[in-house]
Structure 1
Amino acid sequence: MTLGYIMELRKKIGTDPIIMVGACVLILNEKAQLLLQQRKDNKSWGLPGGAMELGESLEEVAVREMEEETGLIPTRLELLKTFSGKEFYYKYPHGDEVYNVVTAFICKNYEGSIKYDESEAIDIGFFDLSDLPLRISPPDCLVIMDFLKTQHSI
């Protein structure tokens, strides 16, 4: 297994801020519930997603991360929006600093069964949009709020 692009970059520059391009996926089941995973590193809930590897398209990132982090394989993705700016700055618990440029996709059609990577997450589950967990990762919270405003007119 080779180290990913971001890990290779981090070996060279340490924890200094970087611009990190990636994708996330808002996965909705037939009850219009949102799938969230609880991260192992900060115990916050968040969307499946991650950083782009060299040569990948944003849609390929979304598909790869969705499968790696949830066990689900999308059969159709819908583009929501690309997010960036100072609101998407994040400092990880281990000190790495990033300014995220994240493209969010919506997935309502998928195959497979839910399973999660225990090295990255401690729980995973679907939540009613009106009853989301209180502790959601700040960048993901902004994406979810935008989705709720644009898709559900609140």
Structure 2
Amino acid sequence: MLKKGSKIKIVCENRKARHDFFIEETYEAGLVLVGTEVKSLREGKANLKDSFVLIKNGEAVLENVHISPYEHGNIFNHDPLRPRKLLLHKAEITRLFSKTKEKGLTIVPLKIYFSKGRAKIEIALATGKKNYDKRQIIAEKTAKREIARALKEQQKY
């Protein structure tokens, strides 16, 4: 979980994940990156769209994240879509693995950020939303917005 007041620089956020999933639990994990990936992340060139986390051989692996090649790099540039290992405690990995075996639970990345100079990723254990869930949430948001607008109008008089 992110602490308030800590100095973090958000690189990219997966807003679509909060729209498509109900977030159950969140975890903070480190990323295993090569040098040019870090430089590219510092420039903010990453995309979390359609990305997910798999548990393979007792390790958490981030799949389908696009980190653009570093512009000033050379032949040692990285593959933009390569799988990246996540740094989590063994107990957290086993907990996530057992939870994903349940029906409908998946692990989705929410944001990549720098905390104290280290690249971190916030991942979440989530369940997918159905279309009627999305419509209901949108209707609730618009109703709250209308109420707030009406109260604001009423306070003017």
TM range (shorter): under 0.3
The TM-score, its normalising length taken from structure 1, stands at 0.24
The TM-score, its normalising length taken from structure 2, stands at 0.24
Structure (1/2) with the larger helix percentage:
2
The higher radius of gyration belongs to: 2
